[in-house]
Every structure is written in C-alpha cells, then in structure tokens.
Amino acid sequence: MEYGLLASLGVNDALTIINNFLLLLGGVAALMIGISMMGNNLEKAAGRHMRRLMAKATKNRFIGVGTGAAVTALVTSSGATTVMIVGFVNVGIMTLMQAVPVIMGANIGTTITAFITAISTTGGQLQVTSLFACLAFAGVLMNMLGKNDKVKNIGSIFAGLGLIFIGMNTMSHSMSALLDKETNPAIAGAVSEMFAAIGGSGGTLTWQIPVLFLLGALLTGLVQSSAAVTAIVMSLASTGVVDMQFAIFVILGTNLGTCAVALLSSLGTNVNARRAAFVHFSFNLIGGIIFIIPLSFPVVSGSLVGFLQSFIPNVAVQIAVFHMFFNLVTTALLLPFQKMLVKLAEFVVRDKKKDEQVGEEEETLDKRLLKTPAIAIGQARKQIVKMGKEAFANYKLSLDMLLSGDLSQIENFASHEKNINEQNHYINSFLVRLTLEPLSKTDDLKLSSFYHVTSDIERIGDYAENIVEYAQTVVADKITFSEHAREEIRQMDLHLTELYKNVELTFEKISLAYMQKIDEEERATDDMCRKMQQSHLRRLNENHCTPEAGAIFLQLAITMERIGDHMTNISNSVKDYARPEKV
C-alpha cells in the first residue's frame, strides 16, 4: 500500500474506521456469546443422550466419528469437544485408540456453525436476521417468565441462536459500511490495496499461502474460536475485500488454531491425554498440508473456486461448503490410518520413566469434565464408590485388628484413613465447582445427594478409627472376649458385609431393586445390636465377662450398628432420582 494513500485518510476517515471496528468487535462478542449460550443449553438438554453417545463411541470408529460430529454440533465448538475427549482419556473413560475417531468427527461437527453464520449473509439478509432477532427476544422472555427448567432451557437456546445471527449481521454491516466505495472511497481503496498486496483480492498467491495459513491458526488460537475467525473471513469475502482463494487458506489455518485449546488443556494430564491432544493437532496439520500442496497451484485452486461458484452464488456459503469438504475428505483419508496416528503420538509424546511416574495415578475426576455436567456426575459417582470401597476395607481391617490383637497394620490403616479424608475434600471441591455448571433437574438432585453420601462414607471411616482405638485398648490392657462374644461380633460383621454389598450396588447402578434386601439387613443389624447388649448383660451376671471387656463390647456393638445406619443413608439417597426396576 502506498504511503500517499495512507496520508490521504483524514480525521473523519479515522473515526469511521474506529466506529466500525468497534461494531465489528461487538458483533464478534455477540456471535461468541450466542454460540456459547446455545451450546451450553443444548448440552444441558441433551445430557443423558450425550452420555449414551459417548458410550456408543467406543464400539467402532465409524460410530466414533458420528459421535464426535453430533456432540460438537450440540456444543458448537470442536475445541470444547476435544477438551472433553482429553478429559475422558485422562480419567480412563476412553482409550487413546477410541478417542481418535471422535476427534476427527469433532472437526466435521464444527462446520455446522459455519453454515449457521453463512445463512445470515445469504439473499434477504435483513429479513433472515430480523426473524432470528425476534427469536432471540422470544427466547429471553421464555427464560425470564418460564415456570420450569425445560422452558427456560429452550428459551436460552433460542436466545443463543438469535445472538449468532445478530452478531454476524453486525459484523457484516460494519464491514460493508466501512468498505463502501461510494461513502468511504479512501478507506475502501486503502484496504483493497493492502489485501491485494498479499493476494487477498485479485492478487496471485505464492509465498503468501503459508502466511495466510498461519494467520488463520494464530487468530483462532488467540480468540479460541474458529467460528469467530471464519465469520470475519465471511464478512470480508461478502464485501469483496478478499476473494475465495484468500479465504480457503485462512480457513485451513483456523482448523489448526482450534488445537491450541486442547493442547493447553492437556498440560498436567497423563501421557495418553497429552497424546489425544497431539492426535488432534497432527490430524489438522496433516490435513492442512494435504490440501495446501495441490491448492498452491493456481489451476487447482481456481478450478475448485470455479466449481463452488458454479452452483453456490453466495461466497459465505462457498466458504462453509469448503470448510465441511475439507474436514470430510481429511477424515476419509486419515481414518484408515488411525493406528499410525496413535503410534506417531506415542513416538512424539513419550512415556515417563518408571521412577518419574510415582504418584501419577490416573484420577477419575478432571476439571475438563465440568463442561459436560452429565458425564461429570457419572464420574463423581465412580469416585464416591471408590471412596466407599476404601472406607469399608478400612472397617474390615480395623475389625481384624480387634479380633486378632495384631496391630501391625495400624500404619497402613492410618494411611487409608488419611486418603479417605483427602478423597472427601477432593470430591466435594469438584462437586462445588460442578454446581456452577448448567444442570438438569435430575442431575441437580444427584449432585445434592452426593454431599450427604460422601459425609456418610467419611463417618464410616471415623467409626473404623474408633474400632482401632478399641483394639489398642484390648491389646494394652490384655482384654479377651469369650468365644460366644467373638461369634456375635462375626455375625454382626456378616450382616454389615451383606448390607454394604447391596448398598454399593444400589448407589453404583442407581437401582432400587436391592432396597428390600437392604431393609432386611439394616433391621438385622439393629436386632443384632440389641442381642449383643442382652448377651453381654447375661454373661456379666454369670461372671463370664469382665467389666472392661464388656465396656469395649457394648461400644463396639453400637459402633457397628451406626456404620450400618450410614450405609443405609447412602442407599436412601438414591430414592430421590432412581427409577424402580427388577434385579
């Protein structure tokens, strides 16, 4: 661009540029808010369906591709989907091999957003945008006046969709007004020359191709939204500032830029999660290279553009079609090489040495799961089940020390008890953050109950500590129980073991089919506690028991009965949201 042309821009021109640039930023903001609002509420409405989709994704690679596309179409962001996948691999929901097709499908699903933004630039733009602006208003009213979560949810989806069109319309108008050759000839001429210098409109692309590719990647990485960058390119192309040949290389770059979010999210994860993020990066990089090489020849890119223009008059729709075409072809070409992509990831992202892996235990909960609340709830349940297993195992260990008089496992017990307390804090911290995410009514009930369940499990651990204290007293004071007393303790333990087994099944499977057995065993522990108290009094009167042994025995009976009460509380927590079913 010549210096004289820059100098010709006056104060009014500068103000015009500033005003329209601010409108452009406002349009981008509305677009991104709309995408986020629509995606979050669609995800909230489809929480259970999303869990089913993810379960199906593990069956074969074609279902995986479809799942990735469907989930991304719901959340309107391939970056968000890939971050979820990184989280799923990190916590073991998916293997790396299962994740690859889903990642490929995510790239296909994100093209839906490009088509939505392209619609707002088609013929009759004002009428289309006006309709969706009205839809946004209706959505706001539904959200404000709706009496149930479902209506509010649908209202938010409508509002988000309307904001996408309003944002795109604002961006398009700001660019059109700024680059109008009649009202702003100096600005339009300056911008046209600038883009022409890099092959933007009527120029010949040669060395500029990698620059445009990297520009698309960089801008997408900065704003963390390929949809926003694509929308800007569509606006520029619709006003004639850039041509289709310019646009396609920037669009190829936006696909690579979406990898920035997943790569950043993989920091601090296990090795397979980092490999999943690298697969996403390598897929888009290889795909970009596959397309850039032939499209670098003017005859090829010109033929492609001519073909698109032959049946699609609107340049924004041409860009959206090319975006989808790129991702479909790249997926078709690379899906058969799924194993090779995994091997490449394993070669680049190496396993740590064994001594460096100490303490790098795979966690069930991951902050990346917060973006998919329905799945996060399921993983929180798994972590609570794990905590419950450890608490019950510690109870068994404490009882074994009491009956055997062998305290050699006391340090091991203390270590497990410390871990139970840490798990309690860890799970509850995750649950607190999960409350800030959009939840369905059922998931909200589950989340509320989980706080009580973790508290009950933690109390079971505390009662196990009490039993260890009894064991220490027995050993220190050389107290012995009669064989009859020991047999009653074992019977009580059998009832608690059976109770725990059914409570765990009830909570883990979210099933009320085991409640009858739980009620029977809970009554059995109450009866056994009374029996132990009566037997103690009889043995004491018959001088078959010392007062010291009797005191410990009575405390133990009450402690074991309270452990049973807390187990029953856990099963009762499921009643609020579980559906009755037969075993």
Number of domains in the chain: 2
- Considering the domain architecture, whether residues 290 and 407 belong to the same structural domain is answered as no
Q: For position 398, what pLDDT does the model report?
A: 94
Backbone phi, psi, residue 60, to 5° = -155, 170
Strand partners, 579: 511
Question: Could you say which DSSP state residue 362 is in?
Answer: P
Q: Is the CB of residue 77 less than 8 Å from the CB of residue 112? A: no
Q: How far apart are CA 319 and CA 508, in angstroms?
A: 48
CA of residue 551 relative to chain centroid, distance: 52
Task: Grade residue 58 by pLDDT with cuts at 50, 70 and 90.
Answer: low
CB 391 within 8 A of CB 504: no
Q: Which residues of 200-217 are buried (b: 16+ CB within 10 A; e: fewer)?
A: bbebebeebbeebbebbb
Predicted confidence at residue 299, as pLDDT, reads: 85
The span from the first CA to the last CA of the chain, in angstroms, equals 77
* Together in a domain, 343 and 431: no
Same domain, 321 and 422: no
Is 451 within a domain?
A: yes
Distance of CA 131 to the CA centre of its chain: 33
If asked whether residues 138 and 240 sit together in one domain, one would say yes
Highest mean pLDDT among 53-62, 77-86, 360-369, 484-493: 484-493
Q: Is residue 356 part of a domain?
A: no
Instruction: Kindly report the pTM of this predicted structure.
Output: 0.63
Of 1-5, 131-135, 185-189, 304-308, minimum mean pLDDT range: 1-5
Which has more confidence, 332 or 352? 332
Query: What are the residues whose beta carbons fall under 8 Å from the beta carbon of 4, sequence distance 6 or more?
Result: none
Specify whether 375 is located in the same domain as 341. Answer: no
Q: Residue 15 falls within a domain, yes or no?
A: yes
Please give the radius of gyration of the chain, using alpha carbons only, rounded to the nearest integer.
32
- Whether 277 and 309 map to the same domain: the answer is yes
**Does residue 253 surpass a pLDDT of 70?**
yes
- pLDDT of residue 9 exceeding 60, the answer is no
Q: What is the pLDDT of residue 265?
A: 66
- What is the greatest pairwise CA distance in the chain? 115
Rounded distance, CA 238 to CA 245, Å? 13
Residues 355, 359, 364: CA angle, nearest 5 degrees? 135
For residue 420, give the nearest of 475, 446, 380, 383 by alpha carbon.
383
Q: In this predicted model, which residue has the larger pLDDT, 405 or 112?
A: 405
Specify the pLDDT at position 359.
39
Write down how long the chain is.
583
Quick check: 85 pLDDT over 70?
A: yes
Q: Which residue, 283, 317, 348, sits at the end of a domain?
A: 348
Domain boundary among 314, 348, 382: 348
Residues 6+ apart with CB under 8 A from 393: 416
Instruction: Indicate the pLDDT class of residue 24, thresholds 50, 70 and 90.
Output: confident
Based on the domain organization, do 375 and 340 belong to the same domain? no
Q: How confident is residue 6, by pLDDT bands cut at 50, 70 and 90?
A: very low
Determine the pLDDT at residue 561.
94
| 560: confidence class by pLDDT, cuts 50, 70, 90 | very high
Identify whether 337 is part of a domain: yes
Q: What percent of the chain shows pLDDT beyond 90? A: 25
Which CATH number goes with the domain that contains 452? 1.20.58.220
- Show the tokens assigned to 332: 């078709």
CB-based contacts of 328, cutoff 8 Å, min separation 6: 108
Kindly provide the b/e burial profile for residues 482-502, where b requires at least 16 CB atoms within 10 angstroms of the residue's own CB. eeebeebbeebbebbebbbbb
Position 391 scores a pLDDT of: 95
Confidence tier at 506 by pLDDT (50, 70, 90): very high
Please give the share of the chain, as a percent, with pLDDT higher than 70: 77
326 and 387 housed in the same domain: no
pLDDT over 60 at 582, yes or no: no
State pLDDT tens for residues 101-156: 888 988 888 787 777 767 655 544 445 667 777 888 888 888 888 777 778 878 88
**Co-location of 480 and 549 in the same domain:** yes
- Least confident stretch, 107-121, 206-220, 335-349, 470-484: 107-121
Point out which residues pair with 511 in neighbouring strands: 579
Chain segment 296-307, per-residue pLDDT in tens = 888 888 888 889
Domain for residue 483, yes or no? yes
Q: What are phi and psi of 511, to 5 degrees?
A: -130, 140
Are residues 100 and 231 both part of a single domain? yes
Residue 416's pLDDT band, with cuts at 50, 70 and 90, is very high
Mean pLDDT, range 401-418, rounded to an integer: 92
In the 3-class helix/strand/coil scheme, how is 303-331 assigned residue by residue? HHHHHHHHHCCCHHHHHHHHHHHHHHHHH
Which one is predicted more confidently, 41 or 412? 412
C-beta atoms surrounding 354 within 10 Å: 7
Q: pLDDT at residue 63 above 70?
A: yes
Domain for residue 359, yes or no?
no
Full domain range(s) for residue 404: 370-576
The C-alpha atoms of residue 81 and residue 112 are separated, in whole angstroms, by: 14
At how many degrees (to 10) do helices 441-477 and 373-404 cross? Answer: 10
Residue 110 in domain: yes
For 524-556, write each residue's pLDDT tens digit. 999 999 998 888 777 766 666 677 787 888 899
User: Does residue 483 share a domain with residue 451?
Assistant: yes
442 within a domain of the structure (yes/no) = yes
Question: Do residues 387 and 289 share a domain?
Answer: no
**Buried residues in 286-314 as b, exposed as e (16+ CB within 10 A):** bbbebbbeebeeeeebeebbeebeeebeb
Q: Which of 284, 314, 348 lies at the terminal end of a domain, its last residue?
A: 348
Please state, in angstroms and rounded to a whole number, the distance separating the CA atoms of residues 454 and 181: 67
Give the pLDDT confidence score for residue 397 in this predicted structure: 95
